[in-house]
Amino acid sequence: MLHSYWLVDPGGLYNIQWEVIKATGSTYAASFQQLYARTLSNSTIKYISLCLFPGTVTGSMSRNKKVNWTAINRKLPIDRSLKADRKRLFRSFDPNGNGILSLAEVDKSIRDVLRIDDIFDAKPAIMRAFQSAKAVTKSKRSDGVGDDYIEFREFRYFLIALRQYFEYYQAFERTDSSGDHRLSLKEFKDAKSKIEKWVGKIQDMEAEFMMIDKNGGGFILFDEFCDWAIRKHLDLEDDDDNTGAARKDW
pLDDT, the chain, mean = 79
> How confident is the model at residue 241, as a pLDDT?
66
Summarised one tens digit per residue, pLDDT across range 106-132 is 999 999 999 999 999 999 999 999 999
* Main-chain phi, psi angles of 52, to 5 degrees: -100, 130
Nearest to 234 by CA among 224, 225, 243: 225
> How confident is the model at residue 31, as a pLDDT?
40
> How confident is the model at residue 227, as a pLDDT?
97
> How confident is the model at residue 84, as a pLDDT?
98
Q: What is the pTM of this model?
A: 0.75
Higher pLDDT, 59 or 89: 89
> How confident is the model at residue 64, as a pLDDT?
59
* Residues near 199 by beta carbon (within 8 Å), at least 6 away in sequence: 229, 232, 233, 234, 235
Asked if the model's pLDDT at residue 43 lies above 70, the reply is no
Summarised one tens digit per residue, pLDDT across range 173-225 is 999 999 999 999 999 999 999 999 999 999 999 999 999 999 999 999 999 99
Cα distances from 68 to residues 6, 51, 92, 113, 236, in angstroms, run 30, 24, 23, 17, 13
Asked if the model's pLDDT at residue 63 lies above 90, the reply is no
Nearest to 123 by CA among 32, 51, 33, 67: 51
Summarised one tens digit per residue, pLDDT across range 150-175 is 999 999 999 999 999 999 999 999 99
Asked if the model's pLDDT at residue 236 lies above 60, the reply is yes
Q: Are 48 and 40 in contact (CB under 8 A)?
A: yes
Read off the pLDDT of each residue in 31-44 and give the average, rounded to a whole number. Answer: 41
> How confident is the model at residue 73, as a pLDDT?
95
Higher pLDDT, 16 or 235: 235
